[in-house]
Amino acid sequence: MDVVDGWLQTIRVEGELDAYTAPQFMEAVTQTLDEGFSWLVVDLRQVEFIDSVGLGILIGGSKRAGEKNGDMAVACDRPNVRRVFEVSGTAELLNVVDELAHAVEILATERAARIGGQVCKPGGEAQ
């Protein structure tokens, strides 16, 4: 795991993410959130396979990050893994993009907007 600028944690995952390997990933996500991080980038560029078990951990982690006023983004460029996000309808929810730098940028932009106190919801209404 890497910390970027003190506010963002990156979790790198390699190999196959299924019910057998998921507990390690679950532990990494939980540990990161428990340590106080609420902005997470999950780097899946070296992941060759994912199923709903891995998706469930990402969805749960994203939800927890949101509850801590943060968010999650996922970097993933393998077509078969990207397809699982698209088919399951989770690509937008989990901010799935090809490049790691883009994932970081999404969260940095979102965080800057919140620090500025102007988080615009769809429709343009600021809160």
Partner 1 sequence: MNTVPQDVVELRLPPDAKYIAVVRLMVAGVASRVGIDVDEVDDMKVAISEAFTNTIDHAYQGRDPGLVTVRMIPSDAALRIEVIDEGLGFDPGSRDFTQLGALTGEGGLGLYLVHQYMDEVKIESAPGSGTRVIMTKRLSR
Sequence-separated (6 or more) residues with CB below 8 Å from residue 58: 29, 42, 72, 74, 90, 94
Query: SS3 of 57, please?
Result: helix
Residue in the block written with tokens 């809160």: 127
17 vs 104 by CB, closer to partner 1:
17
96 vs 104 by CB, closer to partner 1:
96
Angle, nearest 10°, between helix axes 22-34 and 52-67?
Answer: 0
Which sign does the torsion angle of CA 64, 62, 40, 49 carry?
A: positive
**Minimum distance, C-beta of residue 79 to partner 1, in the bound complex (Å):** 8
52 vs 69 by CB, closer to partner 1:
52
**Minimum distance, C-beta of residue 21 to partner 1, in the bound complex (Å):** 9
Residues that bind partner 1 (CB under 8 A): 16, 18-20, 49, 51-53, 55-57, 59-60, 63, 79-80, 83-84, 87-90, 93
**Minimum distance, C-beta of residue 26 to partner 1, in the bound complex (Å):** 11
